[in-house]
Amino acid sequence: MHSASASFDFQEPTVVRLSDEERTTGRITLENIGIAVSAMHRDGLVVLENAVNTAHMDAINAILVKDAEEMAKMDSTHFNGNSVDGRPTGNMSQGPPLEPELLFDDIWANVPAAAVLSAVLGPKPHVNYVNGNTALGGFGDARQRVHADLFFNHAQFPFAVVANYYLEHVSPANGSTELWLGSHRDTSFLDHRNCHPERADTPPSDTDTNTGAKTKEGATAKGADFGIRDERLEARRKHAPPMQPTIKKGSVVLRDLRLWHAGLANPATDPRIMLAFVHTPWWYACPARVVLPASCQAKVDSWAARSLHPVQYDAHFVPASLDHRKVKFDPNFSSANKGYLSMLPPHLGSGYVDDVSKY
């Protein structure tokens, strides 16, 4: 049964409330693991509440809120537009600070989250992407197209999960993300606007294949066609409409990358900041690398070496310090595993896959 016609009897994200002991020790009960893993497969998303020391979130939020206004004016800042009518959405990429003392274990390598990720993706998941998403205030009712964070041919099983950390309590009042729960279950690349089976062998260009218009300077074709097809959305909306959640500060939200969602405008004055860490299986061979200062290497290596639910960062360490305000937006979640790629439906084409030679 296609995802647009699958049964739907849940309207809110599943919330797993962790005890203080589970948060501090990282040892989650089997019952909570069972709930979280089941929710990931059924809903495509689960909220682990009380998973993070909120003081750590406050420390990062204080820095990023201060940076947000300045970043909004910087030419190097990437804005996640992708709106239906071309209006700016106020949705800005903003990564976390990269000083070693601010790489908190319970955000960069949260053990309860890693326990769930290991159960869904397999042991020792790899992190290939670190960034953040900030919803600025003052953009009216602007919104993104509904999309999944994918623009290439992909599997129909969990192969990438993002761990999101809202740095404040979030709700529709300050721009929580619109979610289409369960939409990941039988979706495929065919649901995406940039999938054109009739041109599967044609390399993508810088032209919007829906309008014939050239993409903006500095943009790529992946932005032009990004999103889920309108007919697929309307078919699902009839029985499984989207929703906006309310999520407490201190939570980590695990979301299957195939899940349909959209960034909505932030009605509040203060920016709403959410950090993002994308995890893939150990065998997936994502070519992307997280660029980090060498001063962080010992800490990053410790996350991979720990005995309880380790997390491996595929990182490129540089000797100089890095300005987190100028981290390049480069969301490459593709795979270089030729065996895996050979199992994808060839008639759909590859979609937009970055040149792996640059990694």
Residue 288: pLDDT band with limits 50, 70, 90: very high
Q: What is the pLDDT of residue 7?
A: 52
Cα–Cα distance measured from residue 223 to residue 358, given in angstroms and rounded to the nearest whole number: 20
Contact 48, 164 (CB under 8 A): no
pLDDT digits (tens, 9 = 90+) for 222-252: 445 789 999 999 999 999 999 999 999 999 9
pLDDT at 9: 57
Residue type, 213: A
Query: CATH says 3-358 is which class?
Result: mainly beta
Rg (CA), the chain: 19
Q: Write the DSSP string, 88-103.
A: ---EEE-PPP--GGG-
Dihedral of the CA atoms 45, 50, 55, 60 (nearest 10)? 0
pLDDT tens column, 73-95: 988 888 887 777 778 878 889 99
Per-residue pLDDT at 205 exceeds 50? no
pLDDT digits (tens, 9 = 90+) for 16-35: 999 999 999 999 999 999 99
Confidence of residue 211 (pLDDT cuts 50, 70, 90): very low
Comparison of pLDDT for 87 and 2, the residue scoring more: 87
75: left (phi over 0), alpha (psi -120 to 50) or beta: alpha
CA pair distance 325, 336, nearest whole angstrom: 29
> For helices 30-43 and 111-121, what crossing angle results, to 10°?
60
Return the residue matching tokens 């041919």.
153
Q: In the prediction, which pLDDT does 213 show? A: 35
Amino acid at 148: A
Read off the pTM: 0.91
- Percent of the chain predicted with pLDDT > 70: 88
- The whole-angstrom separation of Cα 222 and Cα 335 is 17
